[in-house]
Structure 1
Amino acid sequence: MLKEFQSLRLVETDFGNDVKTNPEVVANIYSSLLAKFDHNSDGVISLEEYMTETKKMMKDIANDIGFMPIQMVLEKDSLLMKAVELHHSASAAHTIDC
């Protein structure tokens, strides 16, 4: 899976120009990314592990959208829309409890 992560060039900061990056730094970044997704440390990211971490990321993105001075159009039943709705309902419940 590390090879697949590296092919994504997630650490590319040179906007398409090929610049040699220290392979050790790249390997450390991608290894930590793999470790984040691989909950049971078996070297394989299962569908459940992938879905769990992706859901966390989407919730974090949705949480931060409320603080940004932009508007987004979201599909009605999309995962991001569900995360936004969940965040808003949790915020409303917290406000009522206080």
Structure 2
Amino acid sequence: MSNRRFSEMLNQWEEQRQQKQELVTVPVSVAKKDLERLQALADVYDQPLESIMADLMHAALAEAESSIPYVPGSRVIRVEDGEPCYEDEGKMPDYLDARHRAAHPEN
């Protein structure tokens, strides 16, 4: 095994170790039909059910987050390339505040 391959393997192990440290277990209830679908994906792709659920949740959250619409307000908050950027009066500011509170519950 070349030094490069060995180094890549060690880096991959370290990345996996760090990812595992970030995992939290939460109880979740799902519809029986959804559990069947999840189990089918796990079987077809030879992955643990928990990994399939976590990956799907991660992808769904990223999609949901990017789908929160921007609602331009009347107040200009900055100018970029000569164009005014208006404050967002949609749900994104509230979402970002709630996300910050969830990440820092002691504040």
Q: Common fold, TM-score beyond 0.5?
A: no
Higher relative contact order (CA 8 A, sep 6+): 1
Normalising by structure 2, report the TM-score. 0.32
The structure that has the greater radius of gyration is 2
Normalising by structure 1, report the TM-score. 0.34
